[in-house]
Chains A and B, each alone.
Chain A
Amino acid sequence: MTATLDTSAFGTPVEIGQISRELKKLWERENEVSTRASLINFAVYCEGAEAMRAATNLIFEFTKHHACRALLVGYEPSSPEASVQAWINAHCHLSRAGAKQICCEQISFLFEGNTQNRIPSIVFSSLDSDLPLVFWWQGEFPEEIDQQLWSWVDRLIFDSQSWSSPREQFERLNAIICANSRLTPCDLNWTRSLHLRQALAQIFDAPQHRSILDGLQHVSIGHAPEYRSTALLLAGWIAAQLKLNQQREEANGTRFIGSRGNVVTFDFKEVTGRSISKCCLASSDASVDLQRDPAGDFFRVAVHAAEGQVYNHLLPAGSNDTAELLLEEIGGGGKHRVYLRALPIAEALLESR
């Protein structure tokens, strides 16, 4: 496999047992003009050479904003021979203060063949001590990996939008969460709707609009075909926060019942555009219509009040590219309790049309 893999982006090849020594040498050389900084261990798991290169580019961008020790864990299961290789390099950026460069180190590993079970011990031995471990697991969670790995992880980042079998993956995720109380699950698919949730929350910060939530009858979400799971998480959030219970499928959508017996229907429409491009919450006499501006990074929000007035707002929507989602996620922190509340509802909705 490595014969076809361009490893130049990963830096200097090193023996696995010599990583610490080689890093020390690297910093001795760099010390005059740069400062090493690290606040977290940031591990990235991905499969395939292309994904490794993309991850390295992303780590470079990431280190502009978050000082870290980056561990890139590449896995190539199709390789006939079992082997593990390592490289080290540094990502340096000029600090805002100007003079010295701020550098973060990246240790890259390529696991080839049947070596996935070696990943945990190599990750454990490469961590910067006393710093939290943020692990971005790209792709699906494997069944066979040593479960001890998860017990070391403080924040587990994944993207449920990319899963081919979400039901099975959510089950595995739930098992990981249940077994590791310290671990915070961070779904980039949840982060993807962050700006939208913030925009909706901001509209309902105004008490006079809250009657729409109190008398909510219909929620309509428009999403790109491949972002149905994002829409389901958004619906799960609305239902969980408004304490709605799912009842059944109906012709015009999925029916929920509120705590006061009110019926709320949710419908999901596939539309072209970016992830979620439309969300409408309506009561009998008022509504909030949120549309993503296809040309820009904004939501256009129209509040149709019961008295007939229309209030228009322009709110930031973010760009939703992977780098930005990652930065939002790491910058935001928190335990994602609201996500954990929305998740079971979204899982149940996976069965709906």
Chain B
Amino acid sequence: LKTTHFSPETAGNPLREGLSSRPMPQPCNVVIFGASGDLTFRKLIPALYNIAADGDLPAALSVVGFARREKTDEGFRKELEEAARKHSRQGVNDELWASFGNRIFYHRSEFGDLEGYKSLAARLDQLDAEQNTRGNRLFYLSVAPSEFEGILQKLASVGLNKARPGSWARVIVEKPFGTDLPSAEELNQVVNDVFSEKDTYRIDHYLGKETAQNIMVLRFGNSIFEPLWNHRYIDHVQITAAEPLGVEGRGPYYESSGALRDMVQNHLLQLLCLVCMEPPTDLTADSVRDEKVKVVRALRLMSPEEVAQNVVRGQYAAGSINGKNVIGYREEERVNPESQTETYVALKVHVDNWRWADVPFYIRVGKRLPKGGTEIAVQFKSAPGVLFNRDEAQLDPNVLVIRIQPDEGISLRIQSKRPGAALRLEPVKMDFHYGTSFGKASPEAYERLLLDAMSGDATLFARRDEVEGAWKFIDLIEDAWHQHDSPPPLCEYAAGSWGPKEADSLLERDGRAWRRI
């Protein structure tokens, strides 16, 4: 989404006109907490480097990695260079890396050591003077949520949360944003005690994906869809996030999370919001997020009985994927052999507002499914069959599919006359592939999100009320599973299958079926 507003700083630059249709990132120091972690090496530094290679990085910028391990600036830069060469989407240019790398620094400290923050503050002041970064600070918390409070309090203790007049201080928070509503509220409070909500950027990398951003363009930039985008013409919507991978060594994390918390609470409900929201009055961050929050608030909350009826949870057992035998979830490393954690969940959800009255949204997410892919399928009501194919029960409905990943694109299934003397109808597919139509590779989601955070554009970040609203909905399901006297069963499915048969029944009893993806 290209926002139409510009940051006040760049708006006053007479040479900027016509050169960019997006807010420009401002000079700043980016401080990454947890800088020796995987995310920094695989995503954050390659993203910042790619922004520099595209010429979009502010001329004055420095990156400070804050972590516990002993390292020098030079050693840190060398490690990051190797990682960038491996993970940067456009490779690494030696000369550009030399210039970019010289702006990266390492700051060793324990997260709980106040002295480390005092010296960080001094170092940032020094960088402001040397690099002309003007006192702007972007703190990236790439650490476990349990570390948030300690880090934020220490930042506040040394005054790094307060920007000087004319400057800004922002914080980027990685998911998970809590594990339930109380913990999310607590976490949000911890963050908002130190940084105001307008300076808090909660990353959901799904929102940085090109196709997720295109949902609003598809809906509100084309006049043909929106008149049909309601309960009169739409039969139901399916949102699928499937992956063939298992937990891949992340057993302990997954044990405490499960598919519902890991994927549905954030990514899939965000996609649902983009599909269901009303048109915002403009493209400013709060206008867009106000509309998304209204969707979250309209989610029909479920009683334990309704959870049993409308939600299916499953766990993969041993099976085979792509011709290879794979173990079951309970046999995975560092997973409880009697684990009750769901690796699959299917839900039937209702959005109780005028537009979506009685339109079911079927959401499914699972690990160890036969193939990977995230997509939204909007199935329209069938046309009356009185004219064509009278001997058939029903005409195939039109289906609009938005593929989020991989093979990003949009397809529309329509009816067509089969060639010949007889009047027979066949469904055909009109298919748009990003990769076919636009040769240029899309920027990584993290590039877009980091640019937006440096520009002060929070449109693609989750707001506190969105997050808490989503947890309110999710918690009722978790409670029904774990707190109720007679919880619904955890269904088993073989790895390499499309999930438990109970998930198929969820749709079958409504006279529907999951899409084949």
Residues of B contacting A338 in the complex (Cβ-Cβ under 8 angstroms): 17-18
Q: Which of B52-60, B218-226, B240-248, B471-479 contacts A (4 or more CB under 8 A)?
A: B52-60
Residues of B contacting A204 in the complex (Cβ-Cβ under 8 angstroms): 13-16
Q: 1/0 per residue A146-170: CB within 8 Å of B?
A: 0000000000000000000000000
A213 touches B15 (CB 8 A): yes
Any B CB within 8 A of the CB of A201:
yes
Residues of A contacting B407 in the complex (Cβ-Cβ under 8 angstroms): 97
- Which of B404-462 touch A at CB < 8 Å? 406-407, 433, 435-441
Residues of A contacting B12 in the complex (Cβ-Cβ under 8 angstroms): 207, 210
Q: Which residue of B lies closest to A100 (CB)?
A: B436
Q: 1/0 per residue A196-226: CB within 8 Å of B?
A: 0111111111111010010000000000000
Any B CB within 8 A of the CB of A241:
yes
User: What separation, in Å, do the CA atoms of A298 and B99 have in the docked complex?
Assistant: 11
**Given A296-B95, A315-B55, A337-B18, residue A206 in contact with residue B27 (CB < 8 A):** yes
Min CB gap A10→B, angstroms: 23
User: What separation, in Å, do the CA atoms of A309 and B130 have in the docked complex?
Assistant: 9
Q: Which residue of A lies closest to B431 (CB)?
A: A35
Q: 1/0 per residue B6-25: CB within 8 Å of A?
A: 00011011111111110010
Residues of A contacting B24 in the complex (Cβ-Cβ under 8 angstroms): 202, 205
User: What separation, in Å, do the CA atoms of A334 and B17 have in the docked complex?
Assistant: 12
User: What separation, in Å, do the CA atoms of A180 and B103 have in the docked complex?
Assistant: 49
Looking at B13, B20, B131, B435, the one whose CB has the most chain A CB atoms below 10 A away is B13
Interface size range of chain A in the complex: 35 or more
Residues of B contacting A337 in the complex (Cβ-Cβ under 8 angstroms): 18
B439 touches A66 (CB 8 A): yes
Looking at A96, A242, A315, the one whose CB has the most chain B CB atoms below 10 A away is A96
B18 touches A203 (CB 8 A): no
A102 touches B436 (CB 8 A): yes
User: What separation, in Å, do the CA atoms of A334 and B2 have in the docked complex?
Assistant: 14
Looking at B12, B439, B441, the one whose CB has the most chain A CB atoms below 10 A away is B439
- Which of A24-39 touch B at CB < 8 Å? 35, 37, 39
B96 touches A96 (CB 8 A): no
Partner of A206, one of B134, B433, B437: B134
- Which of A290-340 touch B at CB < 8 Å? 293, 296, 298, 301, 303, 309, 311, 313-316, 331, 334, 336-339
A206 touches B17 (CB 8 A): no
User: What separation, in Å, do the CA atoms of A200 and B407 have in the docked complex?
Assistant: 37
Q: Which residue of A lies closest to B407 (CB)?
A: A97
User: What separation, in Å, do the CA atoms of A291 and B95 have in the docked complex?
Assistant: 15
User: What separation, in Å, do the CA atoms of A338 and B436 have in the docked complex?
Assistant: 32
A37 touches B440 (CB 8 A): no
Residues of B contacting A201 in the complex (Cβ-Cβ under 8 angstroms): 13, 15-16, 19-20
Any A CB within 8 A of the CB of B26:
yes
Residues of B contacting A65 in the complex (Cβ-Cβ under 8 angstroms): 439-440
Any B CB within 8 A of the CB of A276:
no
Any B CB within 8 A of the CB of A346:
no
Interface size range of chain B in the complex: 35 or more
Any A CB within 8 A of the CB of B132:
yes
B96 touches A95 (CB 8 A): no
Residues of A contacting B131 in the complex (Cβ-Cβ under 8 angstroms): 311
Residues of B contacting A210 in the complex (Cβ-Cβ under 8 angstroms): 12-13
Any B CB within 8 A of the CB of A172:
no
User: What separation, in Å, do the CA atoms of A210 and B99 have in the docked complex?
Assistant: 24
Residues of B contacting A334 in the complex (Cβ-Cβ under 8 angstroms): 18, 21
Any B CB within 8 A of the CB of A88:
no
B134 touches A95 (CB 8 A): no
A207 touches B9 (CB 8 A): yes
Min CB gap B404→A, angstroms: 15
A316 touches B439 (CB 8 A): no
User: What separation, in Å, do the CA atoms of A67 and B435 have in the docked complex?
Assistant: 10
Residues of A contacting B19 in the complex (Cβ-Cβ under 8 angstroms): 194, 197-198, 201
B437 touches A316 (CB 8 A): no
Partner of A96, one of B9, B27, B435: B435
Partner of A97, one of B9, B21, B53, B433: B433
A202 touches B437 (CB 8 A): no
Q: 1/0 per residue B39-78: CB within 8 Å of A?
A: 0000000000000011100111000000000000000000
User: What separation, in Å, do the CA atoms of A66 and B436 have in the docked complex?
Assistant: 9
Any B CB within 8 A of the CB of A195:
yes
User: What separation, in Å, do the CA atoms of A210 and B134 have in the docked complex?
Assistant: 14
User: What separation, in Å, do the CA atoms of A243 and B15 have in the docked complex?
Assistant: 11
Partner of A195, one of B53, B55, B96: B55
A64 touches B13 (CB 8 A): no
A313 touches B17 (CB 8 A): no
Residues of A contacting B437 in the complex (Cβ-Cβ under 8 angstroms): 37, 39, 67
B58 touches A202 (CB 8 A): yes
A35 touches B436 (CB 8 A): yes
Min CB gap A216→B, angstroms: 11
A197 touches B436 (CB 8 A): no
**Given A96-B441, A97-B435, A315-B59, residue A205 in contact with residue B16 (CB < 8 A):** yes
Residues of B contacting A241 in the complex (Cβ-Cβ under 8 angstroms): 14-15, 17
- Which of B74-101 touch A at CB < 8 Å? 95-96, 99
Besides A213-B15, A243-B14, 18 new A-B residue pairs in contact (Cβ under 8 A), listed by A number? A93-B439, A95-B436, A97-B406, A102-B435, A198-B19, A201-B15, A201-B16, A202-B58, A202-B59, A204-B16, A205-B59, A206-B58, A213-B14, A311-B60, A313-B99, A314-B95, A314-B99, A316-B54
Q: Name B's A-contacting residues (CB within 8 A).
A: 9-10, 12-21, 24, 26-27, 53-55, 58-60, 95-96, 99, 131-132, 134, 406-407, 433, 435-441
Closest 8 CB pairs of A and B: A338-B18, A314-B99, A65-B439, A201-B15, A313-B59, A316-B55, A96-B435, A241-B14
Q: List 29 A-B contacts (CB under 8 A).
A: A35-B436, A39-B437, A64-B439, A66-B439, A95-B435, A96-B439, A97-B433, A195-B55, A198-B19, A199-B55, A200-B15, A202-B24, A203-B59, A205-B13, A205-B59, A206-B59, A206-B132, A206-B134, A213-B14, A241-B17, A242-B14, A298-B96, A303-B132, A311-B59, A311-B60, A313-B60, A316-B54, A316-B55, A338-B17
